[in-house]
């Protein structure tokens, strides 16, 4: 299952309908959240409540495709489940302007050629189909991104071309965003730094504008665009790097870094978030799986301190960028040394995981004889 994201160009009337749909979905989400908090109502009971609400002559709910409204209830239920298993915080009420997408889970949408998508209750919307969609479309999500609109199509596709036969360890960092076990070093592009001065200037302007004024709204949109530029640059870089890694390698090993805990260090939080380690790992994982490869996560403990040549522990501070082993004489960049240790740990972990299966097969074979 892959998601393709295309920009759409609604007319002024269509954009107004989509804005109203988002606002109705936001209010429904908040009312269902309040009902859960006050009465402890469950998912299936809230789906029944939704039918009753539509029958009460609510013109806003009646103007929206029924499955779009059902998806709002499903989103709230997913948020609750993620909270109870420790994956996110307790669901919050959505402020105006903070509900930015609605979904057609099964029906209510259809591609018509490569220039038009038909959306139920909205009509035919022009889009730019910059990539071919070859599989069956299972779901469509309309997304508002400040002053632009997009549609994300969930597509069921066959596996892609097989990956290469290489094996590589990946050490992520701040000075070098990636160091590979083959010696490759990729500098951190630091996209946020390129937009930081403009972001700070716009934030100062926003703080001086009167709340509710049109000038404040203009500055708010400009600020959102500045943040969006840095975000899109990071996304583009992560997609291209993950694509390269998965095309050349069958096995890719990352450190299992706990980014959420690391960003509690306020001196490094901004740099860590800008580096997008978790995003790179996530994109690499799904692309490797699609190409028949594998991503392995290993414990990061000691990977920078241990010598990849002889296994000797060589203590060094964060400021020391060179690994110099007094035992075997190995001298190399500390990040490349760490990447080699990561690769070794990943291959060993894969061997240990596969060993019980091999033993079991031998026993079955022996019993069969």
d(CA 252, CA 184): 14
Q: CB of 72 within 8 A of CB of 28?
A: yes
Which residue matches tokens 């699609």? 290
Segment 193-216 mean pLDDT: 92
> pLDDT: is 266 or 358 the higher one?
266
Best-predicted range by mean pLDDT among 272-276, 292-296, 350-354?
292-296
pLDDT for 160: 66
Q: CB of 194 within 8 A of CB of 112?
A: no
**Sign of the Cα pseudo-torsion (129, 132, 136, 139, in order):** negative
d(CA 110, CA 119): 7
Domain limits, the chain: 2-156, 166-189+230-357
Model pLDDT for residues 211-240, shown as the tens digit of each residue: 889 999 999 999 999 999 999 999 999 999
Q: Which two tokens stand for residue 295?
A: 């991503």
The pTM score is 0.80
Task: Put residue 312 in one of left, alpha, beta given phi > 0 → left and psi -120 to 50 → alpha.
Answer: beta
pLDDT for 369: 46
The answer to whether domain 166-189+230-357 has CATH 3.30.420.10 is: yes
Confidence of residue 272 (pLDDT cuts 50, 70, 90): confident
pLDDT for 358: 57
Confidence of residue 354 (pLDDT cuts 50, 70, 90): confident
Query: 154-168, 281-295, 349-363: which has the minimum mean pLDDT?
Result: 349-363
pLDDT for 334: 87
d(CA 79, CA 73): 10
Model pLDDT for residues 84-136, shown as the tens digit of each residue: 888 788 999 999 889 999 999 999 999 998 899 999 999 999 999 988 888 88
pLDDT for 266: 74
Strand-pairing partners, residue 144, are 149
Q: Which two tokens stand for residue 158?
A: 């066959």
């Amino acid at each position: 299952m892959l998601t393709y994201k295309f920009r759409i160009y609604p007319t002024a009337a269509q954009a107004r309908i989509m804005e109203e749909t988002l606002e109705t979905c936001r209010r429904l989400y908040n009312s269902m959240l309040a009902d859960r908090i006050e009465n402890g109502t469950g998912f299936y009971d809230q789906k029944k409540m939704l039918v009753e609400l539509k029958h009460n002559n609510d013109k806003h709910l009646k103007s929206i495709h029924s499955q779009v409204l059902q998806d709002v209830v499903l989103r709230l239920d997913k948020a609750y489940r993620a909270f109870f298993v420790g994956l996110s915080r307790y669901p919050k009420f959505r402020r105006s302007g903070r509900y930015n997408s609605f979904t057609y889970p099964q029906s209510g949408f259809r591609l018509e050629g490569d220039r038009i998508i038909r959306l139920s209750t909205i009509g035919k919307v022009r889009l730019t189909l910059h990539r071919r969609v070859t599989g069956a479309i299972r779901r469509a999500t309309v997304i508002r991104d400040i002053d632009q609109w997009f549609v994300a199509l969930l597509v069921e596709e066959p596996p892609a071309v097989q990956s290469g036969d290489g094996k590589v360890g990946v050490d992520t960092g701040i000075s070098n965003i990636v160091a590979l076990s083959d010696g490759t070093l990729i500098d951190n592009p630091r996209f946020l730094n390129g937009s930081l001065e403009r972001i700070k200037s716009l934030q100062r302007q926003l703080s001086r504008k009167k709340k509710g004024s049109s000038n404040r709204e203009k500055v708010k949109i400009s600020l959102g665009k500045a943040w969006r530029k840095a975000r899109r640059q990071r996304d583009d870089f992560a997609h291209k790097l993950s694509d390269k890694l998965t095309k050349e390698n069958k096995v890719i090993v990352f450190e299992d870094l706990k980014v959420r805990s690391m960003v509690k260090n306020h001196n490094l939080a901004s740099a860590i978030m800008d580096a997008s380690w978790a995003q790179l790992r996530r994109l690499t994982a799904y692309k490797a799986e699609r190409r028949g490869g594998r991503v392995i996560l290993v414990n990061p403990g000691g990977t920078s301190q241990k010598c990849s040549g002889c296994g000797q522990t060589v203590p060094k501070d964060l400021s020391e960028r060179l690994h110099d082993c007094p035992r075997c004489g190995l001298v190399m960049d500390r990040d490349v040394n760490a990447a080699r240790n990561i690769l070794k740990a990943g291959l060993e972990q894969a061997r240990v995981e596969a060993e019980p299966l091999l033993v079991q097969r031998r026993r079955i074979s022996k019993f069969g004889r």
